[in-house]
Amino acid sequence: MAEDLIRMEKINKFYGRIHALRDVNLTVRTHEVVGLLGDNGAGKSTLIKVLSGAVPLTSGNILIKGRKVELKSTADAIANGIETIFQDSALVPQLSIARNLFLGREPIKGGSFLNRLDQDAMNASARELLKRVGITKDIPPETPIAALSGGERQAVAIARAMQFDSELIILDEPTNNLGVAETQGVLRFVREARDTGHSCIFIAHNIHHVFQVVDRIIVMRGGRVVADDIDPKHTTIEQVERIITGEELLHAITA
Amino acid sequence: MQQRTFLQSFVSKPEFGPLVLLVLELMVFWSFNSDFLSLPNISNTLSFTVELGLIALAMTLLMTAGEFDLSVGSVFGFSAVLMWTLFNSEMMPLGVAFLVAIAASLLIGFVNGWFVTKLNIPSFLVTLGMLLVVRGTALYVTDGFPQRTWNAEGNLFANVLAGSYFIGSFRMYMSVIWFALAAVAAHYVLTKTKAGNWIQASGGNPNAARARGVNVSRTKICLFMASSAMASLAGIISSIRTSAANPNSGTGYELEVIAMVVIGGTVLTGGRGTIIGTVLGIFILRVMRNGIVMIGVPGLAYNIFIGAIILGMMALHSWLERRHNSGV
Ligand SMILES: Nc1ncnc2c1ncn2[C@@H]1O[C@H](COP(=O)(O)OP(=O)(O)OP(=O)(O)O)[C@@H](O)[C@H]1O
Ligand SMILES: [Mg+2]
């Protein structure tokens, strides 16, 4: 079995008095795509926000390749090889596609004193990346994000996660608002990411999308993980739906 | 989008409106009084222009990052008073007093930035408080009296900073050169550098910027310091040019500077800024001030015109924005 990339142990998270995560354990192995399912408010976004440094945890441990880490900010998480595409995608509307793709990691030319952006290099890789996420329409990389459709924005956010060699890529409902071609682009990206040695956590309400790409399914309900080893090859979508709603006892399947 | 003609994309630029307005203004004043474009008048207008202009350049960057600074007018007055008080009391030579004044303004800018970014207080309140503190200090230490300034004639330091010399019959002020250099530098920083990208991102979507590892707080603190330092420099240049250091000088400048910046097309809410637009905005207001006096309108009516220009330009920018969004 592949080695553990991420281990989250006994994670608890309180928002004031709301207990959003209750003793959650979660493991992601290398080269593995994990689907994270659960109804609205189950705690999925909270869990991955903890893992991506966006919100602090109340108690618990996070280990990356067996080493304990503290993720105090998203920058910390990025530095530890964890890239996240948030549900409310985090782009700067006034900046161009290319500049959003490289925000925080801009390529520089002409020495650090001049601090000059290598705009040509940014534009060239931006064109390349947009093609890979299935934007076949010819959108110039200088276009500001504000001029894009919701789906195109999502695609840009995904393209951004692709370009840096992160070991774990987290996608929180990346197929929301997407058209057919763009959804296929996202799913293709997830497969490609695994084939090139990355791990993914994939959150979506559309179970069909999840079934198409994941190796393993984890289900959350009421802040707890209620099933964490569902094999999509040996389970039906209906069974998973019943676990999500709590109608089916999990041991029947996970056994 | 690709099929737009050159003319269409030029018209949709934020700098287009201010450019047209400036050209119109020059034509109107010139047709009323042909002395308006005479060399002495141009030189005179330029020398006034750059002092507020220096502040406006820094304010453009700060406003692009989503903040603004109301304390610049008081720093303008305070710095000159501080420098001349230190020099007059024979505590230090002028050059050192200058550095002390700049350092004090950097500290003021740092405190502004710290309150805004670390305590999360809106810049309107922080810099309003700072305005009162700094202006109050200037009035208190001077008892409200102007400071003696010595005649700057012949001092190398004063000449480099604020001297003037003649090119033919045209009187060129050193401060104009400083302003031109600062404008080019600010334009370069905003449009071509990593720092500029961070400035725009900090104003456009600070959470997104932070999530990518952009240090939003440090970016803003640096810009508050730059705006304060520019106000200080401008106040000192002005005191040398006019041979006066008055604790009340610079009163109301903050609003005029912000007006220059927004007339030029930089948005008050951050994310988008233009140095070219600001330079146009600076000239629009200074030409207006100079022009209405030359054609015989009482100077007291100046504010009516400025207010009308601000309202008109805002209406124009919003109209262009809507036109753009509806795809025309
Ligand atoms: N910032 C917050 N402050 C207070 N409570 C919060 C906050 N964010 C989430 N919660 C609460 O935590 C619980 C889990 O929310 P979370 O966003 O993790 O759910 P989710 O599984 O991602 O749901 P969805 O499928 O709707 O995105 C919910 O009860 C929610 O109300
Ligand atoms: Mg969610």
Burial of A41 from C-beta contacts in 10 A (0-12 / 13-18 / 19+): middle
Chain A residues in contact with B189 (beta carbon < 8 A): 115
Distance A38 CA to ligand 2 centre (A): 9
For residues A233-240, average pLDDT? 88
Chain A residues within 8 Å of chain B (Cβ atoms): 54, 73-75, 78-79, 84, 86, 90-95, 99, 103-106, 108, 114-117, 119, 138, 140, 143, 147
The type of residue at A97 is: I
> Residue B328's pLDDT is what?
45
Element (H, E) at A200: strand A199-203
Domain contains B12: no
Calculate the CA B139 to chain-centre distance: 23
Pairing of strands A116-117, A168-172: unpaired
Calculate the CA A85 to chain-centre distance: 5
Domain contains A62: yes
Locate the ligand 1 atom nearest the alpha carbon of residue A55 and give its number.
Answer: 1
SS (H, E, C) chain B: CCCCCHHHHHHCCCCHHHHHHHHHHHHHHHHHCHHHHCHHHHHHHHHHHHHHHHHHHHHHHHHHCCCCCCCHHHHHHHHHHHHHHHHHCCCCCHHHHHHHHHHHHHHHHHHHHHHHHHCCCCHHHHHHHHHHHHHHHHHHHHCCCCECCCCCCCCHHHHHHHCEEEECCEEEEHHHHHHHHHHHHHHHHHHHEHHHHHHHHHHHCHHHHHHCCCCHHHHHHHHHHHHHHHHHHHHHHHHHHHCCECCCCCCCHHHHHHHHHHHCCCCCCCCCCCHHHHHHHHHHHHHHHHHHHHCCCCHHHHHHHHHHHHHHHHHHHHHHHHHHHCCC
Q: Whose CA is nearest to atom 28 of ligand 1?
A: A41
Cβ count within 10 A of residue B12: 14
Calculate the CA B20 to chain-centre distance: 21
Which domain range does residue B123 map to? Answer: 32-326
CB-CB under 8 Å, B208 with A104: no
The type of residue at A231 is: D
- Report the alpha-carbon distance of residue A95 to residue B270 in Å, rounded: 12
User: Is residue A134 in contact with ligand 1, taking CB distance under 6 Å?
Assistant: no
Per-residue pLDDT tens over the stretch B202-244: 999 998 898 888 899 999 999 999 999 999 999 998 888 888 8
Q: Structural domain tally of chain A? A: 1
Which among B2, B195, B205 has CB closest to A93?
B205
Per-residue pLDDT tens over the stretch B297-307: 887 888 888 88
Task: Please list, residue by residue across A190-222, b when 16 or more beta carbons sit within 10 angstroms of its beta carbon and e when fewer do.
Answer: beebbeeebbbbbbbeebebbbbbbbbbbbbbe
Q: Which of residues A88 and A178 earns the better pLDDT score?
A: A178
For residues A71-91, average pLDDT? 83
- Report the alpha-carbon distance of residue A84 to residue A161 in Å, rounded: 7
- What's the token pair of residue A226? 């209620």
Please choose from A18, A87, A176 the residue to mutate so as to test ligand 1's pocket, defined by most ligand atoms within 8 A of CB: A18
User: Is residue A45 in contact with ligand 1, taking CB distance under 6 Å?
Assistant: yes
Chain B residues 185-204 within an 8 A CB cutoff of chain A: 189, 192-197, 200-201, 203-204
CB-CB under 8 Å, A147 with B204: no
Q: Whose CA is nearest to atom 4 of ligand 1?
A: A15
Cβ count within 10 A of residue B324: 12
- Report the alpha-carbon distance of residue B178 to residue B53 in Å, rounded: 10
CB-CB under 8 Å, B212 with A86: no
Q: Looking at the predicted structure, is the pLDDT value of residue A136 above 60?
A: yes
Which among A91, A103, A108 has CB closest to B214?
A103
Domain contains B6: no
Domain contains B8: no
Per-residue pLDDT tens over the stretch B54-68: 999 999 999 999 999
* Ligand closest to CA A40: 1
Q: Structural domain tally of chain B? A: 1
Residues ≥6 apart with Cβ < 8 Å to B295: B29, B32, B33, B36
Q: Whose CA is nearest to atom 11 of ligand 1?
A: A20
Tracing tokens 């720093």 back to the chain, one arrives at B75
Complex ipTM: 0.80
- Is B12 touching A (CB cutoff 8 A)? no
Distance A204 CA to ligand 2 centre (A): 9
Could you give the angle at which helices B72-88 and B39-64 cross, rounded to 10 degrees? 110
- What's the token pair of residue A63? 């280990």
Domain contains A113: no
Domain contains A57: yes
- Report the alpha-carbon distance of residue B69 to residue B271 in Å, rounded: 16
- What's the token pair of residue B230? 């520019």
- Report the alpha-carbon distance of residue B134 to residue B77 in Å, rounded: 9
CB-CB under 8 Å, A93 with B194: no
Per-residue pLDDT tens over the stretch B12-33: 777 888 898 899 888 888 888 7
C-alpha distance from B117 to closest chain A C-alpha (Å): 16
Domain contains A177: yes
Q: What is the mean pLDDT of chain B?
A: 87
Per-residue pLDDT tens over the stretch A17-30: 899 999 999 999 99
- Report the alpha-carbon distance of residue A132 to residue A234 in Å, rounded: 31
CATH number of the domain enclosing A210? 3.40.50.300
Domain contains B44: yes
CB-CB under 8 Å, B197 with A103: yes
In contact, B286 and B48? CB cutoff 8 Å: yes
Locate the ligand 1 atom nearest the alpha carbon of residue A18 and give its number.
Answer: 5
Locate the ligand 1 atom nearest the alpha carbon of residue A173 and give its number.
Answer: 27
Distance set, CA A236 to CA A137, A208, A231, A232, A241 (Å): 36, 10, 9, 7, 9
- What's the token pair of residue A28? 């992601």
- Report the alpha-carbon distance of residue A61 to residue A42 in Å, rounded: 20
CB-CB under 8 Å, B201 with A73: no
Q: Looking at the predicted structure, is the pLDDT value of residue B327 above 60?
A: no
In contact, A7 and A63? CB cutoff 8 Å: yes
For residues A28-34, average pLDDT? 92
Which among A54, A92, A143 has CB closest to B209?
A92
Distance A35 CA to ligand 2 centre (A): 13
Locate the ligand 1 atom nearest the alpha carbon of residue A15 and give its number.
Answer: 4
**Range name among A236-245, B70-79, B190-199, B227-236 with the lowest pLDDT average:** A236-245
C-alpha distance from B119 to closest chain A C-alpha (Å): 18
pLDDT confidence of A1, banded at 50, 70, 90?
Answer: very low
> Residue B1's pLDDT is what?
44
Per-residue pLDDT tens over the stretch B238-294: 888 888 888 999 999 999 999 999 999 998 889 999 999 999 999 998 888 888 887
Which among B2, B193, B272 has CB closest to A94?
B272
* Ligand closest to CA A87: 2
Cβ count within 10 A of residue A150: 13
CB-CB under 8 Å, B200 with A92: yes
> Residue B154's pLDDT is what?
63
Domain contains B15: no
Which domain range does residue A55 map to? Answer: 4-92+166-254
* Ligand closest to CA A37: 1
Distance A21 CA to ligand 1 centre (A): 10
Chain B residues in contact with A79 (beta carbon < 8 A): 213
Closest alpha carbon to B239 in B323, B118, B149: B149
User: Is residue A15 in contact with ligand 1, taking CB distance under 6 Å?
Assistant: yes
Locate the ligand 1 atom nearest the alpha carbon of residue A46 and give its number.
Answer: 18
> Residue B153's pLDDT is what?
58
Domain contains A141: no
Per-residue pLDDT tens over the stretch B122-170: 999 999 999 999 999 999 988 888 887 765 556 777 777 777 777 777 7
In contact, B236 and B81? CB cutoff 8 Å: no
**Across chain B, which distance is largest between two alpha carbons, in Å?**
67
CATH number of the domain enclosing B40? 1.10.3470
> Residue A251's pLDDT is what?
52
